[in-house]
Amino acid sequence: MSNIKSIKSALISVYSKDGLSPIVNKLDELGVTIFSTGGTQKFINDLGIEVVPVEEITSYPSILGGRVKTLHPKVFGGILNRQNNESDVAELENFEIPQIDVVIVDLYPFEKTVASGASEQEIIEKIDIGGISLIRAAAKNYSDVICVSSVDDYTDFLELLNDSNGNITENDRKRFATKAFNVSSHYDSAIFNYFNSDHEIAALKVSETKGKILRYGENPHQKGFFFGNFDDMFDKLHGKELSYNNLLDVDAAVTLMNEFKNDNPTFAILKHNNACGLATRETVHNAYLDALAGDPVSAFGGILICNTEIDKPTAEEIHKLFCEVVIAPSFSSEAIDILKGKKNRILLVLKEVELNKTTVRTCLNGALVQFRDYKTDSIENLDYVTNTNPTEEELEDLIFASKICKHTKSNTIVLAKNKQLCASGTGQTSRVDALNQAIHKAGTFNFDLKGAVMASDAFFPFPDCVEIADHAGIKAVIQPGGSIKDQLSIDYCNANDVAMVFTGTRHFKH
């Protein structure tokens, strides 16, 4: 403990007054002079505690509709002066500037205002100017001043006041300064990202104030962290803490199921970010059973997700399987009781939430940023390039397979039939290898590929894939097209009565 400073004065100017009363009462108990203005001043007065209006320091009223209240040399001089500097101390005395030992600020809720769908003018008015300036000044001068920069730190500061009786160490002042710069930098990043929503300026500002230390990273010898507010997306009902790999799989599951959000009951099982089973049926129970049938071996230890409530019959089937995570928009009470039968099984209720518009990943000594792949292939946008057209049932299966293909690691081939994933070839260096892998896997689990469809995430540079698929019994194909040798695949399909459609959109996933 070093350089202890006793609190004798405090400037309080906050948006949120929740939890402020105990702090004000403690400061009053310690005999601290309190300066304030506007709504905060009224709040403190209503507590029966004496307040010195900031206007008495500055000799200026709050002006411009409250836009300028604390922006004055006499306020910032009281915060920024160096108490071990004789010249600074002399200037304080000469200009009748009071020393300020504590600055308590809570900023206008800019991010919440943006999220609420407010008008641009309302959003602009929630850009805090005086508060952010006070935070930066007090945090910069932590050797003499302690800065409380958010309602989230009220409790921490009150505990510090009670424990220290108002005698604050430099270590604690620096700790609060670190929190303050975290608040100010995040606030500025949020404002920049609002103004740069079209990404006209090629600058990356990623700021997450909520972080969690994970047990480890992808492997036990790696450290791992998650930055973000998990609770904004999920209600966790049961289970152990999510691991780094769990979170990656949950992310893959949510983005995949988002494609089927408005479809009939759909169930997916994922392993290592790829779907190993997926089916759409009239009931969630049947959807789960047919998803599991797609690959009951890989399903062991997998991530389960569906687009509708999980009921008791479905839960009874799931309970027979060892799985890490089960995600749904809701669970029946009976389903919850059943699924809680495994103490480590994680149960997550997915909330209505919009996914980030961009994705970010580290690359070399920087980062790669791209807009999320929001393009979902649809029947209306298909280009029918062969003499034989797909049947209505085949068209539905082609779109179904294309949705899965979009969320499977490249190179990938997806085989589907009757809105059930038969098999996929994932992450192969050759598209032919991906197709052969999918055909072999479908055979392993006794799928008859006669009448099945094939989806590819990218074009076929040669006719080999359509030929192999045809020999396996597949008679309808969906692919982006765009190869200079597209005609070779088209010619093969025409010669063998295979229907093929082009989407015009590639869906690489690396």
Three-class SS state of 426: coil
Cis peptide before 411 (omega within 30 of 0): yes
Closest CA to 312 of 289, 333, 288, 343: 333
What is the C-alpha to C-alpha distance for residues 451 and 205, in angstroms, rounded to an integer? 49
- Active site residue: 8, 17, 272, 312, which one? 272
- Active site residue: 8, 26, 140, 312, which one? 140
Q: How far apart are the first and last CA of the chain?
A: 51
Mark whether 140 is an active-site residue.
yes
Mark whether 343 is an active-site residue.
no
Angle (CA) 453-454-460 rounded to 5° is 145
The DSSP code for 68 is B
Q: Rounding to the nearest 10 degrees, give the CA dihedral for residues 479, 484, 488, 494.
A: 50
The DSSP code for 383 is E
Taking a C-beta distance cutoff of 8 angstroms, is the pair 316, 338 a contact? yes
Q: H or E stretch including 421?
A: strand 421-425
Taking a C-beta distance cutoff of 8 angstroms, is the pair 402, 478 a contact? yes
Distance of CA 21 to the CA centre of its chain: 34
Q: Where are the alpha helices (DSSP H) in 165-311?
A: 170-195, 244-257, 284-294
Active site residues: 140, 272
